[in-house]
Every structure is written in structure tokens, then in C-alpha cells.
Amino acid sequence: MKLAVIGVGLIGGSFALALKKARAVSHVVGVGRGAANLELALERGIIDSIATDAGDADLVLVSAPVGQYPRILASLSSSKAIITDAGSTKRDVVAAARKALGKSIARFVPGHPIAGAEKSGAAAASADLFRDRRVVLTPVKETDGDAVSKVEALWKACGARVSRMTAAEHDEVLATVSHLPHLLAFGLVHEVAKRKNSEQLFSFAAGGFRDFTRIASSHPEMWRDICIANKDVLLKEISAFSRKIEELKKLLEHGDAAALEKLFAEARQARDQWLKSSS
Amino acid sequence: MKLAVIGVGLIGGSFALALKKARAVSHVVGVGRGAANLELALERGIIDSIATDAGDADLVLVSAPVGQYPRILASLSSSKAIITDAGSTKRDVVAAARKALGKSIARFVPGHPIAGAEKSGAAAASADLFRDRRVVLTPVKETDGDAVSKVEALWKACGARVSRMTAAEHDEVLATVSHLPHLLAFGLVHEVAKRKNSEQLFSFAAGGFRDFTRIASSHPEMWRDICIANKDVLLKEISAFSRKIEELKKLLEHGDAAALEKLFAEARQARDQWLKSSS
């Protein structure tokens, strides 16, 4: 099985490494814009050759910024490969694939490995990145069933737990548990950074602040694209969270200590329950 | 030097262990409501004896919920010990001390070690908890200068970096970098937990969500008291953050990708700069 990875970064590079470790691929071609990054991927044994396109690969993983999809997918419209991707939003990816691939959309399996870090590039790739992590596939009605099964099997070979849902459902779930928290973390750090006494504020910030804002060290360009692509759902999430803040504000204004403690206790219990069930 | 710790939890227990390690105390008396916790503290060598009050201790650390301060401080009004505390808010503590101690407030050094975790109790205490952590002392005009110096020296013996500021300044700084993030984390988890599809949402939450919400596993009663004690400042912080959210919302509504990316990049840069300078 010959794999082409378009965008050999943290995700694409880790996919290649994991499939090599599982002996599920015989040759990996790396395609991308960053020559130095591709050279590093070659040195690290992540890829076996560098090319300007996917060539005669059997499977293509597109793990590049979503903004580049129209061009990348157009270059794949006449290949016979199964194509999958790792984009963090799925409705926009499906729309781009429909436009670029036409009938060949049957060969396209939209996917999203829910794994990542603030780190990026082939230097950060690891064969174990997807172990016990979730991967969501969002096939459309035209998608070939065998193609979905093949992609699912490969992600499982990487150690991932694979789910299927619609692109719309995916974008709603991720808006709540990923996109909104990222926006809030970026927002809080920006608020602190813009204060006159920001230096003093940061100097008294401790472990709680560090963990709360870890995701504010994420890639600005990538998160710009995610937020814009999912903006309708994200705006609804922001409104829902603003209502929650208003609720908290009212409890504080009324000095309603009992209700405040109840809300905190319910949140703690829900979180602890989640950690227990996910470990 | 005989130390009495009223409330032998994570903070009080760690203070005792650190001072024993530094050979700064000869005997530690533990006072508290939880008999089992005190027995454990005795077994672990955190305290040397259990008592119902501070007795003839030279120094008393009050590390109990702020709601118990009036009773605890009243019991110390006729002792000659230097008294300090570890409360997370300081204006309310100073007010309680004025009321309970009268002129003896000269012997009271309000303090706040900015160290903690979701863990609590003597079981979690560690001699190294305060190493390189910040401790803020907020003496008032009546506070005896020698008492402040003595408390400062003891925290330094624990490995902490000690700062002085007014109680009002302390409460403002902590509202921004600690109380607000806690409220936001509790709020987000509560929002997710109350959704009809909360099980699905939690099951697709990943490392970013886990770290963002770590502080939502904090102690509900303690955080209720902190929020209520500092509610005037915290309400201002909530309003400021709501304005930041409105700013983000407008950028999204207008699809202003460039401004969104700029804001994210500024936040990331500020956070990375902070991590660099604090490491």
C-alpha cells in the first residue's frame, strides 16, 4: 500500500509513522510546501520520498490548512486513490470536496483525528499520537462504503477509536468542546496582555492559569480558519456561554452562596465523572 | 520555635513539612475539625501533637476556610503569638481580623501562598509545594514590622518568593488571573453537563478541554467563599471579559479573519513570553 501525505506536519507525520509501525504501508510519499520540513521528515524516516504530487498512491491523506484544500483536491480529481483528510471542521471540507472532485467525491472520506498539541511540524510527529484518541469520519451519502471501511481500518491500526457522524453533527460537537474553549483561552490571555499592569498580572498567574490557557498557545492561522469555517455554530455556542456567565453574574450579585456552591459542585462532579469514564 | 497550624490541609500541612525540612521549627501542633485528617498528619510526621487550640505557640498559621476565621481569630485574641494566614482573598480576612483581634491586629500578618491543587487534605501535603511559588503578604498600617519580617523569612525558608502589596491590590490581581478563570472553567463544564447530549459532548472532549477545565475540579465550598468575598472586583472582571467575548463575536460575525488571527497571535505571543520569563 502506497500512502501519500500532503502536509507532513504533526498529524500527517504521525499518521505515516503509526502506519509504518503497524506495517500497514509499504511506501510513504511526502508532499508539501516546506522543503526543510520535508527533508526532516525524510531524515526521520517518516516518509520514503518527496514528490510534488500524490502520484500513483493508493491512499492520500490531506493534512494541510483547509484554505489549501481547493487547490489540493483539484490536483487529485483524476487520481484513483482513496482520499481522506484531517481537517478540524467538516462541513466546509465536504463543500470544498464536492466542488473540486465532482463525482469522485465517492472516493473521499472526510475525517478528523481529535489529537493535537501546540507543537507542529514533522519534528513533533510520533507513532503513538493517535493511541486511544478519537477519530471522527463524516462520510456523505455518495461516499463509497469500501473506502470508508478502508480508512477506518487504517485509523484503527494507528490505535485510534473511530466514530462516524454527519459533518454537521461533528461541527456542533467540536464547537462546544474544542472551538469555544480555544476562543475563551485566547480571549482571556489577550485581555490580560492588554491591561496596563499586564506584567504584574502575569507574574502572579500560577498553575491554574497556565493550564486554562494552554490552548491559547495554539496555531493562530489554523484557529482563525477553524473559527471562520464554523462561525455560525460557534456564534451560537458563544451566546449560550454568555448566558451561563450572566447566570453566574446574577448569583454573585445576589450573593447567592448556596446556588453558587451547587453549580460548582455539579461542574466538579460532571468533570470527575468524565475523567473516570474516559480513563 | 513552636508552630501551630489551624487547618492541617494541603497548604497548612505543606507549610509545616517545609519548615521542618528547613529546621525552622522545633514542634508543630495541629488544630482542626477533622480527627481522621489530624491522625493522618500525625502519622505522616507533619505535626507532632494534636490540640484543640494554638496553646503557647510562637507562630500560628490559619489555613482554614475563611468562613471559620471569626471564631478562630477570636480564640487567638489573647495569645502572644504572631498570627498569619493562607486565605485566597485578603480584604475580607483583614476586616475579620480587625473585628476579632482589636489592637492585637499588630500581630497579624495576612498572607496568601499562591500554590494549590485540586487535591486537598494532609494526605496531599508536600515539603516542596511552595518551592519557587509566590506568596503575597498584605500587612496593614498597624501591622508590626518585625512580625512581617519573621513571616516573610519563614516563607522564604519554604522556598517561596515573597511579595508585599495591599489587600485591595491582591484581590484585584487574583480576580483577573485566578478567580475569573475558575468561574469560566466551572461555567463551561456546567454548560456542557446540562446539555441533552452531554454524554456525547464529553466523549469527544480531548486534552485541550481537560486542561482548560482542570480548575473546575477545585473545591466548591472554598471557591464559593472566594467568589462571594471578592464579588465586587470579580463582577468587574466578568464585565471586562464579557466585552472581550463581544469583541470576538463581532470579528466572527464580520468574518474578519485577519483581525481574528492578529488577536490569536498576540495572545499566543504574550503567553509564550510569560512562560519563558517565568521558567
Interface test with A, best of B166, B169, B204 (most A CBs within 10 A): B204
A83 lies in the same domain as A218: no
C-alpha distance from A157 to closest chain B C-alpha (Å) = 20
B143 lies in the same domain as B193: no
pLDDT at A119: 73
Looking at residue A142, its amino acid is E
Q: Which long-range contacts (CB under 8 A, 24 or more apart) does B52-58 make?
A: B53/B4, B54/B4, B54/B6, B54/B29, B54/B79, B54/B81, B55/B4, B55/B29, B56/B2, B57/B2, B57/B3, B57/B4, B57/B29, B57/B81, B58/B1, B58/B2, B58/B3, B58/B82
Residue A205: closest CA among B24, B248, B215: B215
Query: Which residue of A190, A215, A240 is in closest CB contact with B263?
Result: A190
A103 lies in the same domain as A237: no
Residues of chain A with C-beta less than 8 angstroms from the C-beta of B215: 208, 211-212
pLDDT at B12: 97
* Total of domains in chain A: 2
The model's pTM: 0.93
Give the Cα-Cα-Cα angle A17, A22, A24 (nearest 5 degrees). 90
B260 lies in the same domain as B148: no
Residues of chain A with C-beta less than 8 angstroms from the C-beta of B204: 114, 134, 136, 163, 173-174, 177
The residue out of B149, B165, B181 marking a domain boundary is: B165
Please check the confidence at residue B67 and state whether its pLDDT lies above 90.
no
Please check the confidence at residue B275 and state whether its pLDDT lies above 80.
yes
Residues of chain A with C-beta less than 8 angstroms from the C-beta of B136: 204
- pLDDT-wise least confident of A185-189, B54-58, B66-70, B152-156: B66-70
- A29 φ/ψ sector (left φ>0, alpha ψ -120 to 50, else beta): beta
The residue out of A106, A133, A165 marking a domain boundary is: A165
Which residue of chain A is at minimal alpha-carbon distance from B182?
A208
pLDDT at A165: 97
Provide the CATH number for the domain around residue A40.
3.40.50.720
Mean pLDDT for chain A overall: 96
B213 lies in the same domain as B242: yes
Domain housing A175: 169-278
| CA A207, A209, A211, A214 torsion-angle sign | negative
- Residue A217, judged by CB atoms within 10 A of its CB (0-12, 13-18, 19+), counts as buried
Angle between helices B167-174 and B91-101 (to 10 degrees): 150
* Pairwise CB contact (< 8 Å): B235 & A217: no
Give the model's confidence band at B267: pLDDT under 50 very low, under 70 low, under 90 confident, else very high.
very high
In the predicted model, residues of chain A with pLDDT beneath 70 are 117-118
Query: Residue range B165-187: average pLDDT?
Result: 98
A39 lies in the same domain as A12: yes
Helices and strands in chain B: count of H runs, count of E runs: 12, 9
Please check the confidence at residue B166 and state whether its pLDDT lies above 70.
yes
* Pairwise CB contact (< 8 Å): B114 & A266: no
Give the model's confidence band at B118: pLDDT under 50 very low, under 70 low, under 90 confident, else very high.
low
pLDDT at B117: 64
Query: Which residue of A183, A260, A265 is in closest CB contact with B248?
Result: A183
A75 lies in the same domain as A136: yes
